[in-house]
Structure 1
Amino acid sequence: MQASVHTCKATPADAGIISRIIERSIRVGCALDHRNDPQTVAAWAHNNTIDHILPWLNDQRLYLNIALLQDKPVGVAMASVSGKVAFCYVQPEWFRRGAGQALVHDLEGWLIDQGLRQSRLNSTRTGEAFYRRLGYQVCAETFTVAGLHAIPMHKALPEV
């Protein structure tokens, strides 16, 4: 039997682990996207330090959540009141165990609570199939930013 995933709102005390999860997920889990190019990795990961994360945790327009699996923090995600999912990162060794899905569903619940009817995001190649399984659809042409392909996607959220 697979262990259940628990999600909760992240707190300032989680900033260090959030930084580590993002860093490792980018470096290891997203190698298909950055092709181990040091400049691309540095550009992607540069704003995920504790000093960058702490203001996000104190911004009421943002919602950061963390996923716990077997009482271990394994993933983190963030959305804004504009309806944009900024990111969803899971430690690579915990891929395909429900953490990413739980994180996104929790973000979507928060977006619905904010009165939003649609969620949008820019996926990487690594994440595209994951987001498609969650009901997201490509909604515009792929573009490149900081050496990475970004795939614009959106999803209608259910009415309350």
Structure 2
Amino acid sequence: MQNKRGISQAFSQPPEGITLRRATVFDVFDLSRVLIRSITELCGADHQGDPRSIALWTANKDAATIRGWIEAGSQIWLAEHAGQVAAVGGLSCAGLITLLYVDPAHTRRGVGAALLSKLEQQLAAAGCATATLDATCTARAFYIRQGWQPTDAPGEWNGIPQFPMRKSLHPTD
């Protein structure tokens, strides 16, 4: 039953005041700001305030690297709320959600759920039957509320716990 709720959420419209769109090279500075603020300020349960962990995690979140992702064809999406870039998401055509970060000033407003829903829609439209991602400690409960399920034993990346998750993009699974 939880998965069906997750599917209905995945294909609903974003809340009023939230705009979802593909990112362009003109967004790279805002995207970088959101990624770094989210990691630094919201993901304390993951990096434990360790400057080395934060530096490793944010090392590739600069504007130049993000520009490279976009120019190489990566699907980077953003959510705008109240006229500001409020969240950043990414996906690969292999069914993988690569990014989902919300700016601390925009949490608990449906921005992350709306962007996740858009990413799931894009994957389903591309023919993916299942989506996967690696959740952080911080985001794990959020994904479960959105109908995602843990799959494998937790791993880690540079000392930061990673929780593999999956979600069927078909309502009958």
- State whether TM-score is above 0.5: yes
What are the Cα deviations for residues 116-146 of structure 1, in whole angstroms up to 9, with x where unaligned? Answer: 1110000000000110011110000001111
Percent sequence identity is 31
1:91-106 equivalence runs, <5 A: 91-106=103-118
Q: What CA deviation, in whole Å up to 9, does each residue of 1:8-34 have, x standing for no partner?
A: 111110011101100000000111110
1:153 to 162, 165, 171: 165
Task: Show the counterpart of 2:150.
Answer: 138
2:62 equivalent in structure 1:
49
The corresponding residue for 2:36 is 23
| CA distance in 1 between partners of 2:161 and 2:94 (Å) | 22
SS at match of 2:100: strand
Q: 1:117 aligns with which of 129, 153, 168?
A: 129
Q: One-letter code of the match for 2:166?
A: H
Q: Distance in 1 between matches of 2:149 and 2:167?
A: 6
Equivalences for residues 2-81 of structure 1 within 5 A: 3-60=16-73, 62-81=74-93
Deviation, 1:86, is 0.7
Distance 1:21 1:155 in 2: 25
Distance 1:41 1:103, change over 3 A: same
Q: Hey, what's the Cα distance between the residues in 1 that align with 2:75 and 2:156?
A: 26
Cα deviation, 1:3-60, whole Å, max 9, x if unaligned, reads: 5311111111001110110000000011111011001001111011112111211233
Cα RMSD (Å) of the superposition? 1.3
Task: State the 4+ residue runs in structure 1 displaced beyond 2 angstroms.
Answer: none
If the length of structure 2 is used for normalisation, what is the TM-score?
Answer: 0.87
SS at match of 2:78: strand
1:139 and 1:153 in contact (8 A); partners too? yes
Q: Is the 8 A contact 1:9 1:63 kept in 2?
A: yes
Give the whole-Å Cα distance in 1 for the aligned partners of 2:27 and 2:135: 24
Higher relative contact order (CA 8 A, sep 6+): 2
1:101 and 1:55 mapped to 2: Cα distance? 26
State the distance in 1 between where 2:72 and 2:95 align. 15
Matched length: 157
Corresponding letter in the other structure for 1:96:
R
What amino acid is aligned across from residue 49 of structure 2 in structure 1?
A: N
Q: What secondary structure does 1:6 align onto? A: strand
